[in-house]
């Protein structure tokens, strides 16, 4: 970059926050920060796919916990999401394929109407995206960040040069704080020198929507099989969305099956809990990996969502953890502003990073441990697992604590 362009960027209008990544978590962060009174920009390489009621249900769905619904409701976007196409579930039944030992969670036991909601990723992202402009968020899309420089009072972004029109539209972008919400492979995290650790599960999550003989009963079903868990999640149209964690070779095999063979094998894997599987949509799969950033902050930069943590989908908490990051970051920045502090001062960002990394690490390794326990195949360990599961199911206070933690309370 030449000196003149660098100087122009340092003199560009100073934003409070620049969020890179317009997925669910990044868009929620930009909206939450703007609604909290911060001058905010959101940069995204590709606009989200528009959502239409007549379209097929997105294969990618998310289970929203109570904490996530509360955030979205506070941002004014939950009602349109819920009314367009969302399914609540009031029960969760989790059982072991080897022993039949099961744990049941019931919202009525907590005095609530539901435990969570199953919603299409695309619907959440599109609704958030539509709300950004009215909240005063400066949307830059398409915009590709190619680097950044940190200064004493700001951070400046380098954007891909798409010609004179791009330069005139975005002559330079400077913000007090840069939020990296650019996914598990986050280039921003790498440029900031923030390392990660974790492990590859050697599995893929196979997803599809299926029609079953019996209704889903507004229940989230999860069966732990030797190769990984199978979840059947209720959809608003009466079908179930599946997330089937399988070793790589098995995932490739079931993806190659014709629809009839896939439905038959899925019926066996689900123990025909909802009867035979009658029909399926196309299938897709994504790799499963545990990944945690060693640190969530660098100078004038913080990590958010998958850029900070990627977890196994067995507990359905990935997006919920990211949205809890959003709440913590917003509250931390508001407190700093009210105290007259620089919102990107190291001690301010450390507060956010310390709280969220501690919580995320505990959850991530808890999910990992649960997966390892259900992978036990030695008879004495299987017997011990069954005893433990039945014990948990009988301890009502413990179940309530687990349910409250999953809800973000």
From first to last of its 409 residues, what are the pLDDT tens digits of the chain?
A: 444 444 444 455 699 999 999 999 999 999 999 999 999 999 999 988 899 999 999 999 999 999 999 999 999 999 999 999 999 999 999 999 888 888 888 988 878 899 999 999 999 999 999 999 999 999 999 999 999 999 999 999 999 865 443 444 455 699 999 999 999 999 999 999 999 999 998 999 999 999 999 999 999 999 999 999 999 999 999 999 999 999 999 999 999 999 999 999 999 999 999 999 999 999 999 999 999 999 999 999 999 999 999 988 876 678 999 999 999 999 999 999 999 999 999 999 999 999 999 888 888 878 777 777 777 778 888 788 777 777 776 766 666 666 665 665 6
Q: Contact, 274 vs 232, CB < 8 A?
A: yes
Contacts of 349 (CB under 8 A, 6+ apart): 177, 297, 300, 301, 302, 332
What are the residue ranges of CATH 3.50.50.60 in the chain?
3-54+126-196+292-370
| Rounded Cα gap, residues 304 and 183, in angstroms | 9
Q: Contact, 229 vs 223, CB < 8 A?
A: yes
For the stretch 131-136, contacts whose Cβ atoms lie closer than 8 Å and that sit 24 or more positions apart, written own/partner, are 131/31, 131/75, 131/76, 131/77, 132/27, 132/30, 132/31, 132/34, 132/42, 135/31, 135/34, 135/35, 136/34, 136/39, 136/40
What are the residue ranges of CATH 3.30.9.10 in the chain?
70-120+199-289+381-407
Where are the strands (E) in 40-90, listed by range? 40-43, 61-64, 86-89
264 cis-preceded (ω within 30 degrees of 0): no
| pLDDT score of 197 | 93
Per CATH, which fold does 70-120+199-289+381-407 belong to? D-Amino Acid Oxidase; Chain A, domain 2 (3.30.9)
What is the assigned CATH class of domain 3-54+126-196+292-370?
alpha beta
């Amino acid at each position: 970059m030449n000196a003149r362009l660098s100087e122009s960027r340092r003199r560009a209008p100073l934003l409070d926050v620049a969020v890179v990544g317009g997925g669910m978590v990044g868009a929620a962060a930009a909206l939450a920060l703007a609604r909290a009174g911060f001058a905010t920009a959101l940069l995204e390489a590709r606009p989200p796919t528009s959502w239409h009621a007549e379209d097929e249900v997105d294969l990618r769905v998310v289970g929203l916990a109570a904490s996530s619904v509360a955030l979205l409701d506070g941002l004014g976007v939950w009602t349109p999401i819920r009314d367009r196409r969302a399914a609540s579930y009031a029960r969760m039944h989790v059982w072991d394929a080897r022993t039949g030992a099961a744990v049941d969670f019931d919202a009525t036991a907590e005095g609530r109407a539901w435990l969570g909601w199953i919603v299409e990723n695309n619907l959440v992202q599109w609704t958030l995206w539509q709300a950004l402009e009215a909240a005063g968020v400066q949307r830059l899309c398409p915009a590709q960040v190619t680097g950044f420089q940190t200064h004493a009072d700001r951070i400046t972004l380098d954007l891909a040069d798409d010609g004179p029109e791009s330069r005139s539209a975005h002559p330079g972008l400077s913000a007090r704080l840069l939020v990296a919400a650019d996914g598990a492979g986050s280039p921003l995290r790498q440029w900031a020198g923030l390392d990660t650790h974790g492990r590859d599960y050697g599995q893929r999550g196979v997803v599809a929507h299926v029609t079953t003989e019996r209704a889903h009963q507004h229940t989230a079903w999860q069966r732990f099989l030797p190769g990984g868990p199978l979840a059947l999640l209720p959809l608003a149209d009466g079908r179930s969305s599946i997330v089937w964690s399988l070793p790589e070779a098995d995932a490739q095999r079931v993806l190659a099956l014709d629809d009839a063979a896939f439905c038959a094998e899925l019926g066996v894997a689900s123990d025909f809990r909802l009867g035979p599987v009658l029909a399926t949509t196309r299938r897709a799969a994504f790799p499963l990996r545990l990944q945690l950033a060693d640190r969530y902050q660098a100078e004038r930069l913080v990590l958010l969502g998958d850029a900070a943590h990627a977890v196994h989908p067995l507990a359905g908490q990935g997006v919920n953890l990211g949205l809890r990051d959003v709440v913590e970051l917003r509250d931390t920045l508001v407190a700093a502003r009210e105290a007259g502090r620089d919102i990107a001062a190291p001690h301010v960002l450390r507060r956010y990073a310390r709280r969220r990394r501690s919580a995320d690490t505990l959850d991530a390794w808890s999910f990992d441990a649960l997966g390892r326990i259900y992978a036990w195949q030695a008879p004495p360990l299987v017997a011990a697992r069954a005893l433990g599961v039945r014990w948990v199911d009988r301890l009502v206070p413990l179940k309530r604590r687990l349910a409250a933690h999953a809800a973000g309370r």
